[in-house]
Structure 1
Amino acid sequence: MNPFRPAARGERTPIRAEAPAARTDGTLATLRLYDPIDSYGEFWGVSAKEFARVLDELPDDTTEIRLLINSPGGEVWEGVAIMNALRSHKARVVAVVEGIAASSASFIAVSADELVMMQNSELYIHNAWGIAIGDAADLRALADDLENHYDRNIASVYAAKSGDPVDHWLAEMEKDRFLTAEQAVAEKLADRIEGVGDAAAAKAKFDMSVFARADGRRAAARAATPKLPSQSEPGVPNQKEKLQMSDTIKAGLRERLGVTDADVSDEVLLAALDEALEEQADDTPAPVAASIPDGAIVVDKAAYEQLQSNAAAGRTALDTIDAARRDAVIKSALEDGRIAAASKDSWRAQLDKDEEGITAILASMPKSSAVPVEELGHSDSLTSADDALYNQLFPDEKKGA
């Protein structure tokens, strides 16, 4: 049974197509969707099958379809089928909400190439509904399908039109919103407003009591559902009822705290526990800094880096002094004739490896053993043959100048 049908059987206005008399080119067609959307069709409402049949009957040269809407909506999949039938038609579709486009009629209207809201007309959006018969698992499955599939599918139509994300429209659908013509344009669901209309009179044509929820179905349901105690601040519970300490816990606390009164109240026992915890905290020794092992010191980082720099400079100076001293040892050995010039580099390399030992070896080598550097003999003067003859003739006289 269609929930939008008044109890009394009434006159049904069928969907029909017609070419306006005012147009002479015959390329504009008008379709009227003035009933609930229902898969049974006929008396119960307009089915997707009936609607598609009318579309098929349109002239081939139709370039624009004006879809006049005054419908409370109905079945989701019938609405999706009608929406896609219009989408697939080659003609441009202009939806005109003359009264109310509610529920599935709203996303049919929004999916058109252009949506025009008549003055005082309205859109109505809400979360998908469902009916299930079965056990708890079946009902949970339906709830999951409604939230994760149906609702998102419908919200995606509004999102495609407005440019807002799907999650935005999921939040709006949850509010069970009636949007005025002005609000529909502001929300970017409708493109413009034109003409005059009467939303109140349009709603009166249908039984809209099923939507009579000022704050939305889910909001009302949440308000009626008992909630668990909330918290005023993180870590500070907003306790609604006074909790009683169990006898087992109470006896254990009395024993550990040394309380002998068996009738002690919970408050006194908790106060004794707080006092014991405070005393324990006071007795806790302060953390001891890690001890420095023998032979180690703590030094400032900058000072340590300066020490490293100075040590590097000292090492360089010491290497220079060592090199000069070893060079002097080799020079002395050359001057004494202990080594030959050809072998000085080899001796110098040996000094870098074992200065003390090589120095001792060089000192033990005889002078001039490698190269003669000392006189073998000398005379105070050189005597020529004439000088020798003169000395024989004049032995007591000195040779004059």
Structure 2
Amino acid sequence: MRNRYLQLLADNRSVQGRRFEVRLQAEADAAEVLIYDAIVDDAQMAEWFGGVAAEPVVRALRDITASTIHLRVNSPGGSVFAARAIEQALREHPARVVAHIDGLAASAASFLVMASDEIVMPKGAMMMIHKAWSVAWGNEDDLMATAAVLGKIDGTLVDTYADRTGQPAQQILDWMRAETWFTGTEAVELGFADRLAEGAPRADESAQDQAAPGAWNLSAYLRPPHAAKPAQAPAPAAAGEPLVSDEHRARQRQRLACMARVASTI
């Protein structure tokens, strides 16, 4: 049984330009929060696979006193519950939150931005919604219990999207079941975003910001909009270099611990 969540994280572990960053703009009474990464459960997952966990994002949001937060998102998705925690922190923040989907808001990132007061997308950006994933084993009762929990999670996601878009719940569920990818124009037309971005990129946006969108390997999904980039083979070990270092063994133990924890939760 394939764990697509772990595949998504592993496939994107070496993507360049990933980061979580807060930029304060005191003169404009605003803050810019960049989530240009996958969303993971905790710091241990973030250390091994990359990604940003909920705790540092929530802590950073609490420290922001600006009246406007520009949330800039380019994320392939990740953990449902970590994204829910970030979403709730955004809803509770007194600032006006404007979400800018700079490249991609897929899976968990797509409902995270629903907490914003306004959602802005360029025409070339994409948003994707789908049904929740999990891994389960055991007897019939165990598998049915897992399915029931997944059904409840999907129900909460349907409510979130329907509340924001005004679309019928059954239509939302059908889109989720089909793993639907929306362009910026489609997202605005259907209520997932409020308006299309206007004009050229700002002069203060770095080249790294502009290069990051589109870099994700999305082969863990069923219907990605473009082919995944091939993984690069690791460089061969130098002559006389130990094949397995102590650091490598420690990393492997950490990876197994992460996999065991993820496999036991939704």
- Which has the higher Rg, Structure 1 or Structure 2? 1
> Quick check: TM above 0.5?
yes
Distance 1:136 1:51 in 2: 38
Is 1:143 matched up with 2:147?
A: yes
Give the alignment's TM-score, normalised by structure 2: 0.71
Q: Where does 1:377-392 land on structure 2 (aligned, <5 Å)?
A: none
Q: Which residue of 2 aligns with 1:360?
A: none
Counterpart of 1:3 in structure 2 is: 8
Shift of 1:146: 1.2
Partner of 1:152: 155
Q: Secondary structure at the match of 1:95?
A: strand
Measured after TM superposition, the shift of residue 10 of structure 1 is 5.1
Deviation at 1:9, TM superposition (A): 3.8
Alignment-derived partner of residue 13 in structure 1: 18
Measure, in 1, the Cα distance between the counterparts of 2:12 and 2:128. 22
Cα distance, 1:166 vs. partner?
Answer: 2.0
Asked if 1:211 is matched to 2:214, the reply is no
Count of equivalent residues: 206
Matched, 1:184 2:160: no
Query: Which of 28, 40, 54 is matched with 2:42 structurally?
Result: 40
Deviation of the 1:208 alpha carbon: 0.3
Q: SS where residue 124 of structure 1 aligns?
A: strand
SS of match in other structure, 2:40: coil
TM-aligned CA distance change 1:164 to 1:144, over 3 Å? same
Check whether the contact 1:70–1:100 (CA below 8 A) recurs between aligned residues: yes
Q: Offset at 1:205? A: 2.0
Q: Does 1:24 align with 2:27?
A: yes
Aligned mates of 1:45, 1:8 — CA distance in 2: 8
Partner of 1:116: 120
Point out the structure with the larger strand share.
2
Q: Which runs of 5+ in 1 are unaligned?
A: 216-401
Aligned-partner Cα distance in 2 for 1:111–1:206:
24
Preserved contact between residue 29 and residue 65 of structure 1 (Cα < 8 Å): yes
Question: How has the CA–CA distance of structure 1 residues 106 and 8 changed in structure 2, closer, same or farther, with 3 Å as cutoff?
Answer: closer
User: Higher relative contact order at CA 8 Å, sep ≥6: structure 1 or structure 2?
Assistant: 2
Q: Does the aligned pair in 1 maintain the 2:73–2:100 contact within 8 Å? A: yes
Query: Which letter maps to 2:8?
Result: P
Q: Secondary structure at the match of 1:3?
A: helix
Q: 1:136 to 1:130 in 2, by over 3 A?
A: same
Aligned match for 1:96, one of 93, 97, 100: 100
